[in-house]
A and B are shown apart, each in its own frame.
Chain A
Amino acid sequence: MLQVEDLHAYYGKSHILHGVHLQVGRGEIVSLLGRNGVGRSTTIKAIMGQVDAEGSVRFKNEQMLGLKAYQIAHKGLGYVPESRDIFPTLTVEQNLILGMKGAKPDKSARWNLEDMYRLFPRLQERARVEAGMISGGEQQMLTLCRTLMGDPDLIMIDEPTEGLAPKIVELVADLFNEIKNRGVSILLVEQKLAIALNISQRLYVMGHGRIVFEGTPQELRQNSTIRKEWLEV
């Protein structure tokens, strides 16, 4: 569904990605692992058209590089940013509504407001509260739900469990499985190895702007060299 080949990306003059390649199949959960600063976030930003990039990003057999971010979103790629970019002056519900691409709710969409409130009752309680006033964990939920409201076919999620309480982390993991069960692929940038090993079908490990390992959770569990060199601190 998503094929990334020889992806190079730049921030100004610094060359961040040196030929990244990865694939995500339909209904697959794929994790992108690695230490801070190896280019995981840059990879998904480049796929989303937010960073200057060269190479090839094909989604549903269409080239994404060169398109504007909003056009990429309309092709069915969803992006949940790391920095919890909620819209602080709007209410929780308005944030969710802005997740939809059209003015009217799409009947054929996989998700609607009620689904979100059922998954996270806390968001319903806070529906009329300014999103800047809710807790960090709730904001994290909100960014995720907001992107789901746009009904993506593949969702890229940057550090979803960072700073979350263990209980909510479980909830998030459940949500990922529900997303997958509805036929949506997930490309996950994750710091917590345990979660990634648990829910992913395949994993990539990044180092210095390149993919240094590709395989199943089973294979990564057995490969202590890779874990030592590229993951463990």
Chain B
Amino acid sequence: MEFFLISMLNSISYGLLLFMLSSGLTIIFSMMGVLNFAHASFYMLGAYFAYQISGWIGFWPALAIAPLLVGAVGMAVERYGLRTVHKFGHVAELLFTFGLAYLIDEAVHLIWGRSSVPYAVPPSLDGAAFTLFSTEYPIYRVFMMAVSISMLIGIYLTLTRSRIGLVIQAALTHPQTVETLGHNVPRVFMLVFGGGSALAGLAGVIGGNAFITEPGMAAAVGPIVFVVVVVGGMGSLVGAFLASLLIGVIQTFSVALDYSFVNLFAKLGITIGPNTPLAALWDLTISQTAPVLPYLLMVLMLIFRPKGILGTREG
């Protein structure tokens, strides 16, 4: 029970973090048709910016300034990069974001070095929030959840209650029609790209010190975010939300579970010895396969339900 509750809380906080990343990616994709390969790099930038800024003026200002800076970088990338590349088609855009990811990677290497930086949880958020059975649950995890949930509500209100939100929703399906009604769609694209980048940056600010801030962090989280978007359904925010939580649960629980087929067969009365065919496979525990599970889920999803949980378009 204790294991279950703690893992569940960890799953949710990790899942919410994934959603912060994937929500931007999925909105950008469905609106502009750009699958942004550099999205996880904005996550990394958020973490490094926060590390740098909190070194100067503390964590709390960094929490606000770092995502805004990342958002500004995102807007500049859209305005002066993607918009120019756009007329050469989606392949060019894809290659552009691919190159951008490398560029950001190298910039991070140059500025902050090749090893991890000591971006730590601020003292005011260090410690236990409450004790569940015998486990102390860290304040910072609770803080992460709070930030993610406020973000979630913020996105929801912006999209459904504000005028720009209506324009964004309309442009998700019919960007050209929205433009003929007199809305400055190129500017909306820029804002959405900036907003999505800022969200990724914010995820980096709160994820960077919860996990680790290092040049490999973009490459580590990038593929998972793509899994979330594919499983949730391209362009579906609600789908991305469900998929984020699902992947959060899968990743958190699977790491801790030591069951294998051997245990299962034993329950069924079949004994597996070292001489059984494929013995090594049956002996694998769930925790050993943990890193593969999200991708397995994605492959299964693409085979059986290519449009994802709630996606509207095929494949």
Q: Which A residues contact B (CB, under 8 angstroms)?
A: 48, 50, 68-70, 72-74, 79, 81, 85, 87-90, 94-95, 97-99, 101, 103, 146-147, 150
Contacts and interface: CB of A to CB of B under 8 A. Distances in A.
B177 interface: yes
Contact of A68 (B169, B177, B186): B186
Contacts of A85: 174, 176-177
Contact of B170 (A69, A81, A98): A98
Given A72-B180, A146-B181, 18 more contacts: A50-B176, A50-B180, A69-B176, A69-B185, A70-B182, A70-B185, A74-B182, A79-B180, A85-B174, A87-B174, A89-B169, A89-B172, A90-B166, A90-B169, A97-B166, A98-B167, A98-B170, A98-B181
Contacts of B178: 87, 98
A147 B181 contact: yes
A227 B174 CA distance: 36
A111 B179 CA distance: 20
Interface of B: 163, 166-167, 169-170, 172-174, 176-186
29 contacts: A48-B180, A50-B176, A69-B179, A69-B185, A70-B181, A70-B182, A70-B185, A72-B180, A73-B182, A74-B182, A81-B177, A85-B174, A87-B173, A87-B177, A87-B178, A88-B173, A90-B170, A94-B166, A97-B166, A98-B166, A98-B167, A98-B170, A98-B178, A98-B181, A101-B181, A101-B182, A146-B181, A150-B181, A150-B182
Contact of A73 (B163, B166, B173, B181): B181
Given A87-B173, A88-B173, A69 B180 contact: yes
A73 B178 CA distance: 10
Contacts of A94: 166
The majority secondary structure among interface residues of chain B is helix
A198 to B, nearest CB: 27
Q: Which 9 A-B pairs have the closest CB atoms?
A: A73-B182, A101-B182, A87-B170, A85-B177, A69-B179, A79-B180, A85-B174, A70-B179, A70-B184
A98 B109 CA distance: 46
B180 A73 contact: yes
Contacts, number: 60
Contacts of A87: 169-170, 173-174, 177-178
A79 B170 CA distance: 16
Q: Which of B163, B172, B174, B179 has the most CB of A within 10 A?
A: B179
A89 B176 CA distance: 16
A99 B181 CA distance: 6
A146 B178 CA distance: 11
A98 B181 CA distance: 8
A94 B181 CA distance: 13
A50 B166 CA distance: 22
A52 to B, nearest CB: 10
Contacts of B172: 89
Nearest to B183: A70
Contacts of A73: 179-182
A150 B181 CA distance: 7
A129 to B, nearest CB: 16
Contacts of A74: 182
Nearest to A156: B180
Contacts of A103: 163
Nearest to B184: A70
A98 B174 CA distance: 12
Nearest to B162: A103
Contacts of B174: 85, 87
A150 B182 CA distance: 8
